[in-house]
Amino acid sequence: MEQYLTWNSERAVAHLVALAVAYVLALPIGWNREREERSAGLRTFPLVAMAACGFVMIAIEVLGATSEQHSRIMEGLMTGIGFIGGGAILKQGDRAKGTATAASLWATGAIGAAVGYGQLDIAVILSLVTVLTLVLMAPLRRVVQERAENEDAS
């Protein structure tokens, strides 16, 4: 009961900032997926990053920063976010759609976890690379699809 009666304002602000950073780093990914009208978008991605960050920060508070149990937290996060991503994948005929969204969700979970562990450089790099991959590879993907359709029609 004592833990509910103590309030550390500095720690609360630090946690709030970390959650906000995770949220903000995931927004461009969610924006891209929303703009592309994918199954997950502007609401899902920031929530995944923030939740992953939250789980990591809870683990640090409960287990301590140096606990070997953090590997279990990461394992659970990876599995849970993979499950969410699996819901974004749809099979249509012999093709699977939604794999980029699923992979983006997984990367977003890693962004949140990195922020939670205080690894901001990793979080920023993951966010940038994910957004750049989604944006820059989309035109190339369209070219490849058009060529495949043209070959099928021939």
Tens digits of per-residue pLDDT, 108-127? 999 999 999 999 999 999 99
What does the pLDDT read at residue 19? 98
β-bridge mates for residue 92, sequence order: 95
What pLDDT band is residue 154 in, cutting at 50, 70 and 90?
low
Contact 99, 89 (CB under 8 A): yes
Please provide residue 118's backbone torsions phi and psi, each rounded to the nearest 5 degrees: 80, 20
What does the pLDDT read at residue 17? 98
Which helix (H) or strand (E) covers residue 91, if one does?
Answer: strand 90-92
What does the pLDDT read at residue 3? 64
What does the pLDDT read at residue 6? 79
What does the pLDDT read at residue 150? 73
Check whether 8 has a pLDDT greater than 80: yes
What does the pLDDT read at residue 2? 67
What does the pLDDT read at residue 1? 57
97 contact partners, CB below 8 Å, separation of at least 6: 89, 90, 91
pLDDT tens across 30-51, in order? 999 988 878 788 899 999 999 9
> How many Cβ atoms from other residues are within 10 Å of residue 62's Cβ?
10
pLDDT tens across 64-111, in order? 988 889 899 899 999 999 888 888 888 777 777 888 889 999 999 999
Domain positions in the chain: 2-153
16 contact partners, CB below 8 Å, separation of at least 6: none
HSE at residue 48, side-chain half, CA atoms within 13 A, is 30
Higher pLDDT, 101 or 27: 27
